[in-house]
Structure 1
Amino acid sequence: MSNRKWSIGLVVVVLIFGYVLIRFFASTTKVDDLIHRMGPVKPAAQPAKHIVLIAQELDNPFWREMEQGAAEAAQKLGMKIDYTGPIRIDPAEQARLLEKAIAAKPDGILIQGVGNAEYDRLIAKAVDQGIPVLTVDADEPGSRRLAYVGTDNREAGRRMGELVLNHPGGSGRIGVIVGSEFADNQRQRLEGFRSVISTAAGYEVVDVRSSNISRIGAAEQAEAMLRQHGEIGTIVGFSSLDAGGIVEGIKAAGKEGVRVYGFDDLEATRKGVADGDIEASIVQQPLEIGGQAVRLLAQWFQGQKLPAQLFIPTTLLDRKSVQTGGSGP
């Protein structure tokens, strides 16, 4: 009888021990789970920085290429680019789009400087709201913009002047087509050009007209220029659509032997160089301008100090570089 009681007692002890062991492991699991939950929590992913790029003209090839450069850089940096601009060149519409962009409270804005007090006021408004503003293509130096990224336009104008003067047998009578008489970048290119031409005996800029950044406008102005000044032997275009239009204007005026120099690397310009209708073109790098502007904003977001100006060098498109499929230094 005592053996039976002893056996029952042993079973009870084993069952109690097993129960306690199970409870112990269960408690350990709960503690581990609690510790896991109380452990370091991964920070929530920061929302992508939102950057607005406002073009001078929405579908202008130069600005579309700049958009591409900005978008590629933004993708690598985890940012988002919103691209907008007037359908046709309209500084007042650019200002309205800037005001609209400020109201949307983006993390940064990229704009072309237009050189007027209203634009300066809007840039200041953005900065007061903590939105950094960078200018591209044309600067707004008197404003509170953070930095300028683009071509050194005076230097590009000087380079154009040197091209014209170095042409064998060049004519001293020169006509100039600018994209806009109000655009700061066009004014600076013309100033740089004049600074070189004025030093050469026998050379003179006899007429300056505006194409309103239109190939048709450039053609019309070149034709009118040649009909008024038949002695012009060289015409220079300072915006991307000018050179192709100038070639058309020369043909419409029935002139031959007029040398043409342009800006940028559009298909019509490259074809004109290949065909011998255009001597050469100063080529900007809008892809690089857009990319560098976005990269500067990324540095600013990280607390780094930025240069007031970041000049992107130009290259030269001439017959030799067209034949090799690129552009020279």
Structure 2
Amino acid sequence: MSNRKWSLGLVVVVLVFGYVLIRFFASTTMVDDLIHRMEPGKAAAPPAKHIVLIAQELDNPFWREMKQGADQAAERLGMKIDYTGPIRIDPSEQSRLLEKAIAAKPDGILVQGLGSADYDRLIAKAIDQGIPVLTVDADEPGSRRLAYVGTDNRKAGERMGELVVGSAQGGGRIGVIIGSEFADNQRQRLEGFRAYVSGIPGYQVVDVRSSNISRIGAAKKAEAMLRQHPEIGTIVGFSALDAGGILEGMKAAGREDVRVYGFDDLEATRKGIAAGDIEASIVQEPREIGAQAIRLLDRWFRGEKLPPQHFIATSVLVREHGQTGGTAP
């Protein structure tokens, strides 16, 4: 009986010792963790800032490139990009997505300007809630957005005028295809172009039509334009899909003698320039637009005041010795 009591007592002692040992190691671990947190330079990293980028069209190559530039800058600066946008171009859907983004309370929002009073109110709503809003690609200058990042679109239009006047022979009648009559960036490009060519004797814009940022739309409008105005010798496209569509419209209208100028450097545009079917294209830098927008947000988060406009230089894509190549900004 005494042996049994002794064995039971020994078990109890071992259990108590084990419990005390476990508590000792647990306390040691907690103290080490506390000391680790208190050490200089060992503070936990702040959570990544959440930025919403709302595209004009979700799968548009221009906006996809902008997202890539934004992602690369965000990774270096401790931010996370949430990319969204309409499947097809739809300003009302862009407004709905902006309202939804504001409700999610992100740390910042990047949007395309729409030139709408309702859109201005949404931007003001975000600012009132402490959410910085930057416009990209197209500005919303009358709104309370912090800054615009993108092409100086009026100057891009003027530069297009320089290209047309510099290469056309003996003046000419010009047709223009714009992406949308409602988009501020398209209007500014057209205004800059008109201002330049109107000052040159012998040049005249005789027709302006909208492609609705669609290659098929550009083809149909170019064909109709050439049938109605056979005197047109030059057609300029001011959105990325226009130049390729204009070539199709020329073919449908049975015209091969029209000079074509485009915007941006999609594969169809590059091929057209390489083949000599397109004279030149003004090229934007969507990756740099996305990257610079994120860098500006980072500056704002660090308490810096932002410039109201941050223009990204363009270049010109032309045919050089049988291949496409860019010229200086």
TM-score (norm 2): 0.87
Aligned to 2:17: none
Secondary structure in 1 aligned to 2:86?
coil
Matched positions, count: 299
Amino acid at match of 1:184: D
> Which residue matches 1:140?
140
1:43–1:205 CA distance, 2 compared to 1 (3 A): same
Q: Tell me the equivalent position of 1:149.
A: 149
Q: CA RMSD in A?
A: 1.8
CA distance in structure 1 between the aligned counterparts of 2:321 and 2:189, rounded to whole angstroms:
23
Cα drift, residue 103 of structure 1: 0.5
Name the residue aligned to 1:309.
309
Residue 324 of structure 1: CA displacement? 6.2
Larger Rg: 1
Deviation at 1:323, TM superposition (A): 2.3
Residues 57-88 of structure 1, C-alpha deviations (whole Å, 9 max, x = no match)? 11111111101100111111111001000011
Query: In 2, distance between residues paired with 1:88 and 1:170?
Result: 41
Question: 1:114 aligned to 2:114?
Answer: yes
Partners of 1:99 and 1:81 in 2: CA distance: 17
Once residues 244 and 236 of structure 1 are traced to their aligned partners in structure 2, the CA distance between those partners, rounded to angstroms, is 11
Task: For 1:83 and 1:262, locate their aligned partners in 2 and report how far apart those are by CA, in whole Å.
Answer: 27
**Aligned 8 A contact 1:273 1:322 in 2:** no
Counterpart CA distance in 2 for 1:55 and 1:36 is 44
Structure 1 residue 44, shift from structure 2 partner = 2.6
- Is it true that 1:83 corresponds to 2:83 in the alignment? yes
Q: What displacement does 1:223 show?
A: 0.2
Corresponding residue for residue 188 of structure 2: 188
The structure-2 alpha-carbon separation of the partners of 1:59 and 1:170, relative to structure 1 and needing over 3 Å to count, comes to farther
Change in CA separation of 1:285 and 1:226 when aligned onto 2, cut-off 3 Å: same
- Of the structure 1 ranges 64-73 and 164-173, higher mean CA displacement relative to structure 2 is found in 164-173
CA shift, 1:301, in A, is 0.5
8 Å CA contact retained: 1:321, 1:328: no
CA distance in 2, matches of 1:91, 1:135: 14
1:286 aligns to 2:282 (yes or no): no
Taking a change above 3 Å as real, the CA distance of residues 35 and 99 of structure 1, as seen in their structure-2 partners, is closer
Determine the C-alpha separation between the residues in 1 that align with 2:68 and 2:170: 38
Aligned-partner Cα distance in 1 for 2:75–2:248: 40
Displacement after TM superposition at 1:37 (Å): 4.5
Structure 1, residues 256-308: CA drift from partner, whole Å, max 9, x if none?
21000000010000000000110000000000000000010011101111110
Q: Which residue of 2 aligns with 1:158?
A: 158
SS at match of 2:121: helix
Equivalent-residue separation in structure 1 for 2:236 and 2:282 (angstroms)? 11
Distance 2:129 2:292 in 1: 24
Residue aligned with 1:296, SS: helix
* Partner residue, 2:270: 270
Contact kept? 1:58, 1:88, Cα under 8 Å: yes
CA deviations on 1:232-267 (whole Å, 9 max, x unpaired) are 000000000000000110011001210000000100
User: Residue 11 of structure 2 corresponds to which residue in structure 1?
Assistant: none
User: Aligned to 2:232, what secondary structure does the other structure show?
Assistant: coil
SS of equivalent to 1:144: coil
1:12 corresponds in structure 2 to none
The aligned counterpart of 2:207 is 207
SS for the counterpart of 1:166 is helix
Amino acid at match of 1:123: I
Q: How does 1:25-40 map to 2 (within 5 A)?
A: 37=34, 40=38
Aligned position for 2:253: 253
Give the superposition deviation at 1:170: 5.1
- CA pair 322-263 structure 1, distance change in 2 beyond 3 A: farther
2: distance between equivalents of 1:236 and 1:294? 32
Structure 1 residues 130 and 322, CA, compared in 2 at 3 Å: closer, same or farther? farther
Partner-residue secondary structure (3-state), 2:83: strand
1:43 CA drift (Å)? 2.6
- How many angstroms does 1:322 deviate by? 7.5
Partner amino acid, structure 1, of 2:152 = D
Contact 1:321/1:327 (8 A) holds in 2: no
1:232 aligned residue: 232
- In structure 1, stretches of 5+ residues that fail to align are 1-29
**Superposition pairs of residues 17-28 of structure 1, within 5 angstroms:** none
Aligned residue number for residue 6 of structure 2: none
Aligned equivalent of 1:27 = none
Q: Aligned AA for 1:161?
A: G
Report how far residue 328 of structure 1 moved: 4.0
- Structure 1 residues 204 and 35 mapped into 2: Cα distance closer, same or farther (>3 Å)? closer
Structure 1 residues 139-158: Cα deviation after superposition (integer angstroms, max 9, x where no partner) = 00000000000000000000
Identity %: 77
AA aligned to 2:80 is K
Read off the aligned partner of 2:151 and give its amino acid letter.
T
Whole-angstrom distance in 1 between the partners of 2:325 and 2:275: 14
Q: How big is the shift at 1:325?
A: 5.1
CA offset at residue 326 of structure 1? 4.7
